[in-house]
């Protein structure tokens, strides 16, 4: 049986959530870990924008948005409830906030020179006020973003919160956001994230996940 081909990059948060959704759904693909300075011509032909993740299906269909890859993977799952999580309007609102203004502020905080930012504190504080405080308030009432257990909504959000926290781990740990910090640790410690972050050989497609 021919498998879909996933172009991915280990440290990219968009690719992380795509890989974790494949794990949740127990959907196998051939995963091709790219080298950023030497992107595969076949990937660029399939998706000229040149960003990961890119999923090429056996029939030639190309899915090159991480959320769409998540939705495709979860639709293959034996648990129909997984796919419904991302269709919930409240879940979509959280993702829109994460992928929108929070990501804008995260990039300016993490890469200030790239964006001509001279005061990193402004985008940093805007990211906290714009999303993280509200996430913490929700997580005070429940362990995960959609309820008592980890779901695709957590998978869609936490790679970006993880990236934000890693810019200055000591400062992040000093914030009065205990519920958010506990949630992030649970997500990072999860078996899904651990398996999603197993290093793949560069430029050599490999079965993923190895069920």
pLDDT-flagged residues of the chain (< 50): none
Angle in degrees, CA 115, 121, 123, rounded to 5: 50
What values do phi and psi take at 7, rounded to 5? -90, 125
pLDDT in tens, 7-18: 999 999 999 999
pTM: 0.96
What values do phi and psi take at 186, rounded to 5? -60, -40
At residue 91, the pLDDT reads 97
Adjacency order of strands within the sheet including 62-63: 62-63, 54-56, 5-8, 29-33, 206-208
pLDDT in tens, 160-210: 999 999 999 999 999 999 999 999 999 999 999 999 999 999 999 999 998
Distance separating alpha carbons of residues 36 and 55, to the nearest angstrom: 17
């Amino acid at each position: 049986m021919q498998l879909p081909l996933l172009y991915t990059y280990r440290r990219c948060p968009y690719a992380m959530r795509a890989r974790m959704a494949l794990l949740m759904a127990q959907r196998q693909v051939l995963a091709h870990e790219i080298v950023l300075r030497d992107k595969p011509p076949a990937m660029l032909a399939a998706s000229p924008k040149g960003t990961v993740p890119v999923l090429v299906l056996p029939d030639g269909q190309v899915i090159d948005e991480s959320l769409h890859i998540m939705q495709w993977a979860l639709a293959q799952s034996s648990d129909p409830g997984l796919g419904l999580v991302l269709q919930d309007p409240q879940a979509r609102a959280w993702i829109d906030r994460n992928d929108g203004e929070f990501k804008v502020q995260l990039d300016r905080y993490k890469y200030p020179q790239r964006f001509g930012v001279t005061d990193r504190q402004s985008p940093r504080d805007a990211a906290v006020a714009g999303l993280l405080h509200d996430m913490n308030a929700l997580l005070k009432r429940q362990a995960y973003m959609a309820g008592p257990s980890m779901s695709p909504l957590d998978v869609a959000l936490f790679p970006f919160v993880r990236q934000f926290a890693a810019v200055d781990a000591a400062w992040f740990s000093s914030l009065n956001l205990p519920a958010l910090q506990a949630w992030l640790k649970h997500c990072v410690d999860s078996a899904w994230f651990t398996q999603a972050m197993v290093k793949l050989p560069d430029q050599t497609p490999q079965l993923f996940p190895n069920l």
